DNA sequence: ACGCCCGCCTGTAAGC
DNA sequence: TGCTTACAGGCGGGCG
């Protein structure tokens, strides 16, 4: 499930491979992957344009075109962006194919079709892409004084996992990394944010930054289902560093207690009942 | 206005 | 062995 570290890994790959390249053709075959405009409209706004740079905000990938417009991808659950050559056979569920004038191809593959691509004029972001416009603190991109983070956390009365996965507060964390962050911070998923001591807020703040940076260094997490791969189809390595996620019944690496799994908001949550308080 | 929960999807795996 | 069911979860929208 691509979260910030996985999306950042793909961003770096995309920027290295496609910045400066000019789009020759766009082929959209998936019915749902382009849904904010007609397929023709997206094609018209992208063909002939050059990829200037590739940015990321939270879990959104933003390709800045030389027209000033943004070609945006959100991978949701199962989306993949893959570099290929036109002659390699297209995997099942390939919905969008972008060809470049110098050769080379970018493919959007997405079995569950939750993911999407759209073009937006950044001047009209608030009206046309509020989810992208209203993102909160990006722990990799934005420097935030920890006292500002403390103000944010203490002003709310939310379970910590809700707060961490709320994209308008912290941009980029999902189910896996929120569990990992909370374990590093030694805090339970259901602790109410306004009950934290300043020391605990500081631990949480540092844990977010630490986990995100280490996961980016490891090129993200690939689970058993191999859903996430980078632009070259290669798996990440951070799953080997997971302390709690998908480790129920195993020993907590910090205190050796048994890691538990529980249902929380319809999602699996993994935590150590002993050293997370 | 806010918080919770469903629906969207397919592939995989567990269970009978 | 083969079919059914549960599960994976980001996010928007609808409902209470």
For A117-169, what is each residue's pLDDT tens digit?
999 999 999 888 989 999 999 999 999 999 999 999 999 999 999 999 999 99
The pLDDT of residue A264 is: 86
Token pair, residue A144, equals 């935030």
Q: Which nucleotide's C1' is closest to A156 (Cα)?
A: B2
How far is A159 from A256, CA to CA, in rounded Å? 25
The percentage of residues in chain A with a pLDDT greater than 90, rounded to a whole number, is: 92
As a rounded value in angstroms, the CA-to-C1' distance for A177 and C2 is: 38
The pLDDT of residue A122 is: 94
How far is A190 from A159, CA to CA, in rounded Å? 5
Q: Which residue is nearest to nucleotide B7 (CA to C1')?
A: A114
The pLDDT of residue A226 is: 66
**Which residue has 């998936």 as its token pair?**
A30
Q: Is A46 within 8 Å of A57 (Cβ atoms)?
A: no
Q: What is the mean pLDDT of residues A3-9?
A: 96
Give the single-character DSSP code of A164.
Answer: H
Cross-strand bridge partners of residue A262: A269
Q: What is the mean pLDDT of residues A63-77?
A: 96
Identify the active-site residue in A56, A57, A59, A247: A59
Q: What is the mean pLDDT of residues A35-41?
A: 93
The pLDDT of residue A263 is: 86
The pLDDT of residue A267 is: 87
Q: What is the mean pLDDT of residues A67-95?
A: 94
pLDDT band at A255 (very low <50, low <70, confident <90, very high): very high
- Per-residue pLDDT reduced to its tens digit, A102-119: 999 999 999 999 999 999
How far is A11 from A5, CA to CA, in rounded Å? 10
The pLDDT of residue A96 is: 96
Q: Which residue is nearest to nucleotide B3 (CA to C1')?
A: A158
Residue A256 has pLDDT above 90, yes or no: yes
- Per-residue pLDDT reduced to its tens digit, A216-251: 999 999 987 768 999 999 999 999 999 999 999 999
- In the predicted model, what is the mean pLDDT of chain A? 94
Taking every pair of Cα atoms in chain A, the longest distance, rounded to a whole number of angstroms, is: 58
Q: What is the mean pLDDT of residues A179-198?
A: 95
How far is A17 from A232, CA to CA, in rounded Å? 10
The pLDDT of residue A189 is: 94
Q: Is A7 within 8 Å of A221 (Cβ atoms)?
A: no
Q: What is the mean pLDDT of residues A203-211?
A: 96
A87 is catalytic: no
The pLDDT of residue A1 is: 78
pTM of the model: 0.96
Q: Is A217 within 8 Å of A185 (Cβ atoms)?
A: no
A59 is catalytic: yes
As a rounded value in angstroms, the CA-to-C1' distance for A195 and B4 is: 22
Q: What is the mean pLDDT of residues A20-46?
A: 95
As a rounded value in angstroms, the CA-to-C1' distance for A31 and C8 is: 23
């Amino acid at each position: 499930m691509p979260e910030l570290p996985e999306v950042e890994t793909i961003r770096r790959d995309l920027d290295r491979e496609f910045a400066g390249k000019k789009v020759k053709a766009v082929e959209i075959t998936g019915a749902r992957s382009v849904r904010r405009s007609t397929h023709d409209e997206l094609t018209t706004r992208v063909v002939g344009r050059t990829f200037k740079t590739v940015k990321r905000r939270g879990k959104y990938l933003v390709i800045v075109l030389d027209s000033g417009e943004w070609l945006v991808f959100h991978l949701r659950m199962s989306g993949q962006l893959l570099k290929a050559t036109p002659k390699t056979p297209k995997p099942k569920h390939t919905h969008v194919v972008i060809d470049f004038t110098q050769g080379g191809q970018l493919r959007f593959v997405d079995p569950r079709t939750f993911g999407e691509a759209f073009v937006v004029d950044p001047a009209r972001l608030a009206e046309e892409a509020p989810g992208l416009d209203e993102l909160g603190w990006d722990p990799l991109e934005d420097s935030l004084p920890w006292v500002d983070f403390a103000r944010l956390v203490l002003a709310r009365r939310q379970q910590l996992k809700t707060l961490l996965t709320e994209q308008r507060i912290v941009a980029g964390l999902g189910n896996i990394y929120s569990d990992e962050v909370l374990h590093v911070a030694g805090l339970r998923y259901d602790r109410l944010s306004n009950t934290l001591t300043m020391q605990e807020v500081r631990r949480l703040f540092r844990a977010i930054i630490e986990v995100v940076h280490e996961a980016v260094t490891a090129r993200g997490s690939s689970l058993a289902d191999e859903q996430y791969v980078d632009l070259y189809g290669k798996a990440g390595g951070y799953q080997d560093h997971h302390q709690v996620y998908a480790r129920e019944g195993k020993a907590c690496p910090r205190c050796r207690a048994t890691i538990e799994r529980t249902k929380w908001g319809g999602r699996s949550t993994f935590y150590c009942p002993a050293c997370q308080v």
